[in-house]
Structure 1
Amino acid sequence: MTTTTQDDTTLLFRNTMRIADGRLEDFRDAVVRAVEFARRHGPQLMVETFIDEERMLAHSFQLYRDSDAVRAHWRLADPYIREVMEHCRVERFEVFGEPDDEVAAGVRAALGGQCPLTFAPRAAGFVRFAATARG
């Protein structure tokens, strides 16, 4: 018997971005604004961004409950995404989990073939966040 649990619909996005020369501080400022907006208004369960200054790469991880949450994020955060993208380009985008067809197509369209895009279906796992997680 197969059952669907919340974990079955969970999506984790990993976005690797190449920061443009001379734009590190502008990129960092834009990311801080975008993450703060997501923390206050976004549907993500988790957002973490890490910067490798030596290689001028940033790695953003976003955890979503499901494809509906991804769509909500796109509707809300477009201006913040555009601001971040003024200072970088996507070098690689990875989707862990199985988004619905609309979200998969939306990711492909947004990237427009500019970088490698991979999808990896979920094999097993769980998410453990306390109801009173830090904010």
Structure 2
Amino acid sequence: MTTNESTLLLFRNTMRITDGHLESFRDAITRAVAFAEQHGPQLMVETFVDEERMLAHSFQVYEDSEAVRRHWKLADPYIQDVMKHCQVERFEVFGEPDADVAAGVRSALGGQCELTFNPRIAGFVRFASGLPY
């Protein structure tokens, strides 16, 4: 898509891992991502860890706000399990979710961290594998 009318949403979640919880955090994230891969509506989920700073960065791509709502309904137990081992330090939304999803993100975070919304200007998506780069 090359217009600013895309419904695509990208979430970037930066989490501070609780001291002594790195392995438990890894296990919980692994279970959550495996569940999302099998049952979730996300187009992409990637999580990275910076052990030196005890930070994790999760990126999730959704087709639209409805997909985010489906994710919340399906994944709540997995999200709660992950949150036993970390605290959200920063949450960034790229794209323009509908008012319901924007309010849901604000409510879930409860002011505990920095939250930003970044409207899309332009771009494209290429998820096919085997492309000659």
Give structure 2 stretches of 5+ with no counterpart. Answer: none
Q: In the alignment, does 2:52 pair up with 1:47?
A: no
In 1, are the aligned partners of 2:9 and 2:97 still within 8 Å (CA)? yes
Residue 99 of structure 2 aligns with which residue? 101
From 54, 64, 67, give the equivalent of 1:66: 64
Code of the aligned partner of 1:48 = E
Give structure 1 stretches of 5+ with no counterpart. Answer: none
Scaled by the length of structure 1, the TM-score of the pair is 0.92
Write out the 4+ residue segments of structure 1 that deviate beyond 2 Å after TM superposition: 4-7
Code of the aligned partner of 2:90 = R
Q: In the alignment, does 2:63 pair up with 1:38?
A: no
Q: For the residues of structure 2 that align with 1:131 and 1:73, how far apart are their CA atoms?
A: 24
Residue 113 of structure 1 aligns with which residue? 111
Residues 77-134 of structure 1 show CA distances to partners (whole Å, capped at 9, x for unaligned) of 00000000000000000000000000000000000000000000000001111289xx
Scaled by the length of structure 2, the TM-score of the pair is 0.93
Code of the aligned partner of 1:37 = F
The number of residues matched between the two structures is 129
* CA shift for structure 1 position 5: 7.1
Q: Percent identity?
A: 77
Q: Secondary structure at the match of 2:49?
A: strand
RMSD (CA atoms): 1.8
In 1, are the aligned partners of 2:64 and 2:97 still within 8 Å (CA)? yes
